[in-house]
Amino acid sequence: MNIEELKKICLEVRKDIIRMLGEAGSGHPGGSLSAVELVVALYFSVMRHRAKEPDWEERDRFILSKGHCCPLLYAVLAKCGYFPAEKLLTLRKLKSPLQGHPHNLEVPGIEASTGSLGQGLSIANGIALAGKLDKKNYRVYCLLGDGETDEGQVWEAAMTANHYHLDNLCAIVDRNRLQIDGNTEEIKQLEPYAEKWKAFGWYVIEIKGNKIEEVLSAYNEVKKVEGRPSVIVAHTVKGKGVSFMENIAEWHGKAPKKEETEKALEELK
């Protein structure tokens, strides 16, 4: 797809996120909206996958470590044809497969049940290592929140990935600088952030994560890296696309009310 087509999909995905959360009355808009370009680029331009054959052995794998941002993943999977788009409005409702955190036994296309923060990169390590042992050519992508990397397990996983030279693994950090309690640097200082990953032996790329051109360029670059894992530190805007949500920590885990939903959708036109 060309850049304009991808931008159009990003806009539609943002609308779906707002509609889903408005209907559900609960959920996480901020981090779902900030990472749209990162996930849309993967599914529509980068990864090998088959919506009609979700267990295809040669598929690339995506792990949503920050599982609370599953409205984004659900919207993208629906756009790809993994399940009917009508299901999106059942988010978080009783008996719906679209739970508040992704469940891989309920939704086709979900590789792992996630949401307990800090664990996704370890899961991705295991899948990437299995690919190496089985001599498969698939790649593994893992999206983390920046606040999530307060967790010590992330850095254990970072050491492990480098130790096993997992060059088929790419981590993506949604560096929107806000977590549920406020600014990341006030809660637990992460900077110098890129240097930390470099110290753990990773190939590091920093980009503007809401610029689809930079996102695509970064994904193409990491495919050429050999002998070590890669991480894309994507500087993004929390709540991107909705003016009254942008850069406001309050919208980490608060769904829009009816009037706010309508206002957000109007902006996204």
pTM beyond 0.85, yes or no? yes
pLDDT (tens digit, 9 = 90+) per residue, 59-76? 999 999 999 999 999 999
Q: Evaluate if residue 136 carries a pLDDT over 90.
A: yes
Q: Please state the rounded mean pLDDT for residues 108-114.
A: 98
Residue partners of 147: CB distance under 8 A and separation at least 6: 178, 179, 180, 184, 187
Q: How confident is the model at residue 18 (pLDDT cuts 50, 70, 90)?
A: very high
Q: How confident is the model at residue 36 (pLDDT cuts 50, 70, 90)?
A: very high
Q: What percent of the chain has pLDDT over 70?
A: 100
Would you say 75 and 9 are in contact if contact means Cβ atoms under 8 Å apart?
no
Overall domain count for the chain = 1
Q: Please state the rounded mean pLDDT for residues 11-33.
A: 98
> What's the confidence (pLDDT) of residue 68?
98
Q: What percent of the chain has pLDDT over 90?
A: 99
Q: Evaluate if residue 255 carries a pLDDT over 90.
A: yes
Would you say 188 and 177 are in contact if contact means Cβ atoms under 8 Å apart?
no
Q: How many CA atoms lie within 13 A of 26 on its CB side?
A: 8
> What's the confidence (pLDDT) of residue 230?
99
Q: Evaluate if residue 162 carries a pLDDT over 90.
A: yes
Q: How confident is the model at residue 139 (pLDDT cuts 50, 70, 90)?
A: very high
Token digits of residue 70: 């599953």
> What's the confidence (pLDDT) of residue 1?
87
What CATH number has the domain bearing residue 103?
3.40.50.970
Enter the DSSP assignment of 173.
E
**Could you give the 3-state DSSP secondary structure of residue 145?**
strand
Q: Evaluate if residue 83 carries a pLDDT over 90.
A: yes
Q: Can you give the residue range of the structural domain that contains 138?
A: 3-267
Q: Evaluate if residue 40 carries a pLDDT over 90.
A: yes
Q: Please state the rounded mean pLDDT for residues 89-118.
A: 97
Q: What is the DSSP string of 39-51?
A: HHHIIIII----T
How far is Cα 56 from Cα 69, in angstroms, rounded to an integer?
25
Residue 72 vs residues 3, 146, 162: alpha-carbon distances, Å = 19, 17, 29
